[in-house]
């Protein structure tokens, strides 16, 4: 897989590149929308929902499915980047280091990142690793917004409560780093890709990609 990884491939009618290391990253072009978060939070599922494809990004019940950085050519205006998840302990030490390295390389490569979507399982809320990720993104001056996933697993009321709690943390970090705070959006990509909240997220992505392209 590694030797062919940098070559452009095609799945579900969408071109993509898969990179196991920074040497295999495609040439930077359009603004990139990157998906990060703990393993199993639903990054690949959300990539599929937003791309209106069932099987573009591989998803799995078992954490640690996405091991490489995938660049999906989903729109004339932006590229989706599906990253390996963090916080996945059930792998060898070396594997984990490799996962971290390729993610770290991605963020430090000076690519045209329009927005990072930091995905949080709505039932778990922000954890220590997520807060470290926020610090990391702020440090590199990368624009980010929180997306709460698996909203179908909780009541609307509980979802609103978590959105409010997360917003407090987002505002705290935004204030600390002198950034604009972006409202967390909750989605249930697994069940209904045509949900209004997916639409709201898509609108936000379009807005950020347009800003990044300026
Ligand atoms: N109920 C529900 N399940 C979801 C939702 N989104 C994802 N899932 C499920 O959560 C599991 C993990 O989804 P993935 O999209 O593979 O997660 P990931 O973040 O890409 O995981 P890694 O690649 O391992 O980092 C799968 O079984 C999905 O079907 C959702 O909105 N609602
Ligand atoms: Mg994945």
Question: Does residue 1 form part of some domain?
Answer: no
Question: Does residue 183 form part of some domain?
Answer: yes
Q: Please spell the DSSP secondary structure of the chain, one letter per residue.
A: -TTTTTS-EEETTEEEEEESSGGGPPPP-S-EEEEEEBTTSSHHHHHHHHHT-SSSS---SSS----SEEEE---SS-EEEE---B---SS-HHHHHHHHHHHHHHHHS---EEEEEEEEETTT-S-HHHHHHHHHHHHTT--EEEEEE-GGGS-HHHHHHHHHHHHHHHHHHHHHTT------EE--TTT-TT-HHHHHHHHHHHHHHHHHH-
Q: How far is the CA of 120 from the centre of ligand 1 (A)?
A: 11
Give residue 2's pLDDT: 39
Q: Number of folded domains in the chain?
A: 1
Question: Does residue 185 form part of some domain?
Answer: yes
Which ligand is closest in space to the CA of residue 60? 1
> Does ligand 1 come within 6 angstroms of the Cβ of 67?
no
Q: Residue 33 forms beta bridges with which residues?
A: 80, 115
Give residue 109's pLDDT: 94
Question: Does residue 14 form part of some domain?
Answer: yes
> Taking 90 as the threshold, does the pLDDT of residue 181 lie above it?
yes
User: pLDDT digits over 146-172, tens only?
Assistant: 999 999 999 999 999 999 999 999 999
Kindly list the distances between the CA atom of residue 200 and the CA atoms of 66, 90, 147, 204, in Å, as whole numbers in the listed order: 25, 35, 11, 6
Question: Does residue 3 form part of some domain?
Answer: no
Please give the number of the atom of ligand 1 that sits closest to the Cα of 58.
16
Give residue 5's pLDDT: 46
Question: Does residue 66 form part of some domain?
Answer: yes
> Does ligand 1 come within 6 angstroms of the Cβ of 190?
yes
Q: What does DSSP say about strands 185-186 and 144-149: parallel, antiparallel, or unpaired?
A: parallel
User: pLDDT digits over 38-88, tens only?
Assistant: 999 999 999 999 998 888 888 888 877 777 899 999 999 999 999 988 887
Give the mutation target among 36, 51, 60, 197 for probing the ligand 1 site: most ligand atoms within 8 A of CB. 60
> Taking 50 as the threshold, does the pLDDT of residue 142 lie above it?
yes
User: pLDDT digits over 6-25, tens only?
Assistant: 556 767 778 889 998 999 99
> Does ligand 1 come within 6 angstroms of the Cβ of 114?
no
Residue 13's domain is classified under what CATH number? 3.40.50.300
pLDDT above 90 as % of the chain: 63
- 131 or 87, higher pLDDT: 131
Give residue 193's pLDDT: 64
Q: Residue 35 forms beta bridges with which residues?
A: 82, 117
Residue numbers of the domain that contains 130? 9-213
Question: Does residue 140 form part of some domain?
Answer: yes
Question: Does residue 196 form part of some domain?
Answer: yes
Phi, psi of 211 (to 5 degrees): -65, -40
> Taking 90 as the threshold, does the pLDDT of residue 192 lie above it?
no
> Taking 60 as the threshold, does the pLDDT of residue 118 lie above it?
yes
- 198 or 65, higher pLDDT: 198
């Amino acid at each position: 897989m590694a030797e062919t990884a940098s070559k452009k491939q095609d799945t579900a009618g969408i071109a993509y590149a898969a990179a196991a290391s920074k040497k295999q990253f495609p040439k930077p072009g359009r603004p990139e929308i990157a998906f990060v978060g703990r393993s199993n939070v639903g990054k690949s599922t959300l990539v599929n929902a937003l791309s209106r494809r069932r099987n573009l990004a591989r998803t799995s019940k078992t954490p640690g499915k996405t091991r490489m950085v995938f660049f999906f050519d989903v729109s004339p205006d932006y590229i989706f980047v599906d990253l390996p998840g963090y916080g996945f302990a059930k792998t060898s030490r070396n594997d984990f280091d490799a996962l971290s390295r390729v993610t770290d390389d991605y963020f430090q490569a000076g690519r045209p990142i329009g927005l990072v979507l930091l995905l949080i399982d709505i039932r778990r809320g922000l954890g220590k690793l997520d807060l470290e990720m926020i610090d990391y993104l702020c440090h590199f001056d990368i624009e980010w917004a929180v997306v709460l996933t698996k909203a179908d697993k909780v009541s609307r009321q509980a979802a609103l409560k978590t959105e409010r709690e997360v917003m407090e943390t987002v505002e705290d970090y935004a204030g600390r780093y002198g950034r604009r705070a972006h409202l967390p959006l909750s989605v249930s990509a697994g069940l209904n890709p045509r949900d209004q909240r997916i639409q709201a997220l898509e609108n936000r992505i379009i807005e950020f990609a347009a800003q990044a392209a300026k």
